[in-house]
Amino acid sequence: MTKFLLENQESKRLLFRSIVQEDFDSWLPFYENPKSTQYWDGLPKNAEDACREQFDKIFERYEKGLGGMNALVLKETNKLVGICGLLVQIVDGIEELEIGYSVLPEYWRNGFAYEAAHKCKNFAFENGFSPSLISIIHINNVPSQKVALKNGMKLDKTTSYKENPVHIYRTNN
């Protein structure tokens, strides 16, 4: 298992664990809501195909030690509310460690993305994984930008990533 996973970590309301195939049906509603992916070009139009593609990438990252998304499980209900993790990314030819986060639409605007991203930031810095962390966010995705700002990140640059215009938010240890 990759060192970047927050296996068995927790925050105030969330438990972190590896994603498993059985999470697929719980995560599918993310792709069934068009607002979830409205900013990102290049995803399959079919929700099941998009979810399968993401799961394939998650498991490939696990296998290659490139970090990965963790399932975010609400302690109170034991339900999946989102995914968040530390991801090794190549941006403009430079290897970076990214905090990535997504929350199921029914749990939006409850602070789960910030809570999980903040835990990832602290975990990465406490373990000395990288002197800085980034979040790659589409230039029109204001809600995710607000999460990054609340997590102590600052706009570092604007670039293109996977053929999408993005802002790179950064925080230093």
Q: pLDDT 10s digit of each residue in the chain, 173 long?
A: 468 999 999 999 999 999 999 999 999 999 999 999 899 888 899 999 999 999 999 999 999 999 999 999 999 999 999 999 999 999 999 999 999 999 999 999 999 999 999 999 999 999 999 999 999 999 999 999 999 999 999 999 999 999 999 999 999 99
SS3 track for 31-44? HHCHHHHCCCCCCC
Per-residue pLDDT at 14? 98
Report pTM.
0.95
How far is Cα 87 from Cα 79, in angstroms, rounded to an integer? 23
**C-alpha separations of 142 from 2, 167, 169 in Å:** 31, 11, 12
Class of the CATH domain delimited by 14-131: alpha beta
On whether the CB atoms of residues 87 and 68 are closer than 8 A, the answer is: yes
Per-residue pLDDT at 107? 97
How far is Cα 42 from Cα 169, in angstroms, rounded to an integer? 22
In the three-class reduction of DSSP (H, G, I as helix; E, B as strand; rest coil), residue 119 is classed as helix
The domain segmentation of the chain, as residue ranges, is: 14-131
Alpha-carbon torsion 117, 118, 119, 124, what sign?
Answer: positive
